[in-house]
Each structure stands twice: as structure tokens, then as C-alpha cells.
Amino acid sequence: MVLALVVSFNWDIRQLDVSNAFLHGILEEEVYMTQPKDFEDPVHPQFVLYVDDILVTSNDWDFITSLISNVQMEFAMKDLGQLTPYRAPCVSGSKLSKFAREPLPDPSEYRQTIGALQYVTLTHPDIAYLVNQLCQHMQNPTSAHWTAAKLVLRYLKNTLDHGLFYKPGSFSINAYCDFDWAGDPEDKRSTCGYGVYVGSNLISWSAKKQHVVSKSSTEAKYHCLALVTVEVYWLRMLLCELKVSLESAPVVWCDNISVLALTSNPIFHARSKHIEVDEKVANRDIILQHVSTSLQSADFFTKGHIADHFCFLQDKLSVLDLPTSLQGNDKDKNHPVQTG
């Protein structure tokens, strides 16, 4: 009913998530919690629920903002922005765990679905991160993983007309690389992500968990930089084979100051295991540049985001809701090209 009112009267609505809600109560007496009758979990009868998700709506935007500010003074709380279902395929900060919920009795449907989604990522980089997460649980998927997979399917259903938008431009190569250090909740391995552009067109991307545990954020970032360096140099050689001249050396954009210092100082190169990165930088075959974290488009491939930031990064990848005239194959070579 509340959601119906919100739509009818065009009210603003915001999502809030309380961090560790069960720790915030100040009680002077003992409180015993039990599950309401007929809501018990037969497998875990001792489990009870607590509420940590809040929707706030009003016809007064200033009141909503003031209320959220006052509540955040008392409780650790994330403001997830406006309620906009399926604008993003996963929740900000969410991590899939192999211990979450009960195993699926028949994992075959899950495996078939994720296998199909892997092919979709070939033209939809906006789901690459979560599909990578889902692929890590193919052996023993749980109901939580299946729920996350259905979120991706719902997102795709509501973005059927989205695709990569290619347009004419320069042949300069720019790559963005980022990582989520020790982001896996079980094995503490880092996730590496990168996106490579020719001009303004995204042509290569990756979201992949590293094979080893990095002892520091700098080590994890340097490993990620080595991966994107190999990709960029291969693309440079491919363009040379096709007799396409580059306007300048490829640029790799990184938001980690420590890594930039490590690669630019030859004194530290003896300590580095990634000789190829050092050589390419020293010979000016590639150029490393710093980019602000807020503008780091590769962040798209390493973690989930709130809907507004997800859409911001999605736009930077040129994954757009295309007009009808550009949907499908366009035979006019003078028109921009859509892939999807």
C-alpha cells in the first residue's frame, strides 16, 4: 500500500540498511526472542529474525534528509539511496559466501543458468562482477546464490535494450585497473578488474579472483597491473599487425599511489616479480597515470555498488539504453554500432 501511494503521489523514497542492528538495543531487562508460531525453521528451530532494512518516504524531501541524518547520529547506517528495483544487479557491499543458507537439493538448474550468463557477459560488462562471484559457487550452490542469480536475471529482463555503444573516434588505448583487496570472505583472496578502451569504446574487460593471497594492497594492485599490462600490450601489437597507428603510447589508469611510485622508481624494480610491467614502463611502451577513485571505471568489476553509482559507472562503460533505431543490426556503416 505504501509503495502504491509513493507511485501515485510521486513521493521520494529512500532505502536504509542498519549495520549490526541486533547490537543497537539498550535494554534494562532480559529479553527472550522466539520465532512466531508457524514461522519456525524446521532445520534451525532456534533461529530468529531481526529487522535491519528500512524504507523512508514522504512528500517532503527535506524532512526525509533530516530524518536520515538524525537516525545516522544514533546508529551505524548505510543510505542506499532511492528505492529503484533492478537498476543494479547486486547490492553494494554484498559478498557471496559458501556458508550462506542451505545447499540447493538439485544444483543443475543453477549451473545451467550461470553457464548461460557467462556468455551474456561477452556483451554486457555490467554483470561481469556478479557473474564472476556466482561462478565461484558452481560446485556447492546454496539458496542465497540462487537468489543472487535471479537478481541478475531480473536486471537483464528490465534492461533488454541495453548494449555497448560504439562510435567513431581516436585509436588511443586507455585501460583502467582496480582491485578489491582480500575481498573474499572465506579465502581472503583479492578480486582484480580492468577495462580497456580504444578511443571511447570499451573492447576488453575482466573480473577475476586472484589465484593467491596478496599480503598487501600494493601487492594485489601490482598483480592486477601486470594482468592489464599483458592485455594492453597484446592489443597494441594487434593494431600494429593491422597497420593501425596509435596516436600515443597506451595509458593505464590506476588509483593507487603506492603502485605508481613502485613502477616509476627503478630502485624498487629488483624487488618486483613482475618484470614485464617494469620493462614496459621503463621503455615508455605504456604510461601509468593516476585517476581519482571516484572516477575509476574498473571499480565496476571488483565490487557491488548502490544504484546511482552503478548507473554512473555503467554510463562510463558506454552500456546504454539504446534508441529503437539502433537496436539490433544496423546496416548503415555511418551509424554508431551497438553490441548486445
For the stretch 236-275, pLDDT in tens is 888 888 888 887 889 999 887 777 766 665 544 444 555 5
* Domain-embedded: residue 110: no
Tell whether 97 is covered by a domain. Answer: no
Q: Is the pLDDT assigned to residue 107 strictly greater than 60?
A: yes
Q: What are phi and psi of 300, to 5 degrees?
A: -60, -30
pLDDT band at 122 (very low <50, low <70, confident <90, very high): confident
Instruction: Specify the pLDDT at position 118.
Output: 92
183 and 284 housed in the same domain: yes
pLDDT at residue 251, rounded to an integer: 92
Separation of alpha carbons 225 and 206, rounded Å: 12
pLDDT band of residue 149 (cuts 50, 70, 90) is very high
pLDDT digits (tens, 9 = 90+) for 283-313: 777 888 888 888 888 888 888 887 778 888 8
Q: Report yes or no: 168 and 129 within 8 Å, Cβ to Cβ.
A: no
Pair (199, 300) in one structural domain: yes
| Same domain, residue pair 58 and 190 | no
**Domain range enclosing 38:** 2-82
What does pLDDT average to over the chain? 78
Q: Cell digits for 243?
A: 597497420
Say what the pLDDT of residue 109 is. Answer: 94
Clarify whether residues 72 and 172 are in a common domain: no
Last residue of a domain, one of 39, 56, 82: 82
Task: State the pLDDT at residue 195.
Answer: 93
Given a cut of 50, whether residue 133 has pLDDT beyond it is yes
Q: What tens digit of pLDDT does each residue of 309-334 get?
A: 888 888 888 888 876 666 655 444 44
Cα torsion for 252, 198, 183, 130, to the nearest 10°? 180
Most confident of the ranges 10-24, 28-42, 74-88, 121-135 = 121-135
What are 172-216's pLDDT values in tens digits?
899 999 887 666 766 678 888 899 998 888 989 998 887 677 666
In a domain, 219, yes or no: yes
pLDDT at 24: 57
pLDDT at 335 over 50: no
Phi, psi of 194 (to 5 degrees): -150, 160
Residues 45 and 186 reside in one and the same domain: no
Would 149 be classed as within a structural domain? no
Last residue of a domain, one of 82, 117, 140: 82
For residues 200 and 124, give the distance between their C-alpha atoms in angstroms, rounded to a whole number.
Answer: 16
339 in any annotated domain:
no
Q: What is the mean pLDDT of residues 120-128?
A: 89
Task: Assess whether pLDDT exceeds 70 at residue 15.
Answer: yes
What is the structure's pLDDT at 320?
83
Query: Residue 38 falls within a domain, yes or no?
Result: yes
Instruction: Please identify, among 82, 116, 149, the residue that sits at the C-terminal boundary of a domain.
Output: 82
Count of domains in the chain? 2
Name the pLDDT band for 108 (thresholds 50, 70, 90).
Answer: very high
What's the per-residue H, E or C state across the chain? CHHHHHHHHCCEEEEEEECCHHHCCCCCCCCCCCCCCCCCCCCCCCCCCCCCEEEEEECCHHHHHHHHHHHHHHCCEEEEEECCCCCCCCCCCCCCCCCCCCECCCCHHHHHHHHHHHHHCCCCHHHHHHHHHHHCCCCCCEHHHHHHHHHHHHHHHCCCCEEEEECCCCCCEEEEEEEECCCCCCCCCCEEEEEEEECCEEEEEEEEECCCCCCCHHHHHHHHHHHHHHHHHHHHHHHHHCCCCCCCCCEEEECCHHHHHHHHCHHHHHHCCCHHHHHHHHCCCCEEEECCHHHCHHHHHCCCCCHHHHHHHHHHCCEEECCHHHCCCCCCCCCCEEEC
| Residues 317 and 175 grouped into a single domain | yes
Looking up residue 249, the CATH number of its domain turns out to be 3.30.420.10
Q: Quick one: pLDDT at residue 333?
A: 43
Q: What is this structure's pTM?
A: 0.67
Q: Average pLDDT, stretch 135-152?
A: 90
Query: How many angstroms separate the CA atoms of 38 and 21, rounded?
Result: 24
- Please check whether residue 90 lies inside any domain of the structure: no
119 located within any domain: no
Q: Which of 287, 290, 229 is nearest to 259 (CA)?
A: 290
Identify which has the larger pLDDT, 3 or 300.
300
* Mean pLDDT of the 16-35 span: 68
Per-residue pLDDT, 269: 47
Residues 73 and 202 in one domain: no
Judge if 73 and 183 occupy the same domain.
no
